[in-house]
Amino acid sequence: MWERKKTISIAIAAAVLAGVYIFTVTAAKQVPPIDDAGAYRAYWSEYAKRHGSAAAYEAFKNENATAPEEDRHRAAHVIGDVLYERESVRGIAICDQSFGFGCFHGLFSAAFAEERADELVRRLDDACLERFGVGGTGCQHGIGHGILEYLGYERLHDALALCDETARISPFLGCVSGVFMEYSNPLVSDPAANTFETRPRPFDAAAPYGPCGAVPEPYRLSCYFELAPWWSAHMTGKYGEMGAFCAKLPREEDRRACTIGIGSHIAVKKEFDIENAGRACDALGGTTRRVWCRAGAAWAVHAESKADEARAPELCTPLSTKEREECLSLYRLDAAALN
């Protein structure tokens, strides 16, 4: 009798596990493609309604863990929008740095569509500081995306000025970097086609620095730092050419910001693989460019990859003693070394 009960219990357990597996696979197949924007958003909105916002965000990250980098970031805007719908500004406590901080970008864009910008910026910044402290620059970066989307892309300088209401501990990072990223690589929706996609601004090799030469001095370094994602949209993988553009800038601080930005972008594109990112930086040529690029890559690993954060300084290891010291002194962009 005991053996029979044991057999039945095992059979029931197996059936339950099989059912869970089938349900999981079926649920995964039910997620609409990101290109069907309306259906994709509706899916995650319903998921959050049934299981809670935090559970929805975790499920979203698992679902998109192996998706292409561009799709992951685009999709993260959607889940951020869903979190704002359910949690308002409190959704900041759920978002994290995954997928290029895309959850913050989507949440803040949704917030600016609903509330007055001048009051909202200060409230969002306070929420960022409460959740992440003064070093949580990715949160303010998301505010910058929302500001420019709200004001309009022709009001770049007004958006930068509004960022002055937020905490900023680095000339590269925070709200202004979000404004520049949104300006160069806007996420455009097409309600008629029920789609949304990143549409980078046109690139002219004769004027490769976009608005950077004309923006007020306090924002210029951030502008150069954020050029790499825009360039990459038009010169995929041509990091040597990007490095050459940086090298032509007359001021050293601009060249440095530009090259560090390339390194940061490389780390993201290389999925935070230390060795591959380092090799891509070395392809820029020149000792100084290698140091700056590797420092930027180390920053991105530190800031955006929880799994590899502790390994970030390894990007500086292959350099000579003097170069390694410079790389290590630069890579923490959230520190005061570059102010």
User: What are 240-249's pLDDT values in tens digits?
Assistant: 999 999 999 9
Give the pLDDT mean for 205-233: 97
Under the banding of pLDDT at 50, 70 and 90, the label for residue 189 is: low
> What pLDDT, on a 0 to 100 scale, did the predictor assign at position 34?
87
Q: What is the pairing mode between strands 187-190 and 195-198?
A: antiparallel
Give the pLDDT mean for 179-191: 83
**Least confidently predicted of 49-63, 152-166, 182-196, 237-251:** 182-196
> What pLDDT, on a 0 to 100 scale, did the predictor assign at position 197?
74
> What pLDDT, on a 0 to 100 scale, did the predictor assign at position 195?
61
Does residue 56 or residue 109 have the better pLDDT?
56
> What pLDDT, on a 0 to 100 scale, did the predictor assign at position 105?
85
> What pLDDT, on a 0 to 100 scale, did the predictor assign at position 23?
37
Question: Which residue, among 117, 85, 126, has the nearest Cα to 103 in the 3D structure?
Answer: 85
Under the banding of pLDDT at 50, 70 and 90, the label for residue 51 is: very high
Residue 16 has pLDDT above 50, yes or no: no
**Least confidently predicted of 12-16, 53-57, 71-75:** 12-16
Q: How far apart are CA 314 and CA 168, in angstroms?
A: 27
> What pLDDT, on a 0 to 100 scale, did the predictor assign at position 339?
44
Give the pLDDT mean for 210-238: 96
Helix runs in the chain, H state only: 2-29, 37-51, 53-63, 69-87, 98-114, 117-132, 137-151, 156-163, 175-184, 217-225, 227-234, 239-247, 252-269, 274-282, 287-304, 321-330
Under the banding of pLDDT at 50, 70 and 90, the label for residue 108 is: confident
Give the pLDDT mean for 272-299: 96
> What pLDDT, on a 0 to 100 scale, did the predictor assign at position 192?
55
> What pLDDT, on a 0 to 100 scale, did the predictor assign at position 49?
94
> What pLDDT, on a 0 to 100 scale, did the predictor assign at position 9?
42
Under the banding of pLDDT at 50, 70 and 90, the label for residue 305 is: confident
Handedness of CA 70, 75, 76, 77 (dihedral sign): positive
Does residue 106 or residue 259 have the better pLDDT?
259
Tokens at 47, concatenated: 């998921």
> What pLDDT, on a 0 to 100 scale, did the predictor assign at position 138?
84
> What pLDDT, on a 0 to 100 scale, did the predictor assign at position 17?
40
Cβ atoms of 196 and 190 closer than 8 Å:
yes
pLDDT in tens, 124-180: 999 889 888 887 788 899 899 889 988 999 999 999 999 999 998 899 999 999 999
Above pLDDT 70, what percent of the chain?
88
**Least confidently predicted of 133-142, 177-186, 203-212, 288-297:** 133-142
Residue carrying the six token digits 């197949």: 29
Question: Which residue, among 218, 288, 225, has the nearest Cα to 254 in the 3D structure?
Answer: 225
Tokens at 102, concatenated: 């895309």
Residue carrying the six token digits 């010169």: 235
> What pLDDT, on a 0 to 100 scale, did the predictor assign at position 196?
65
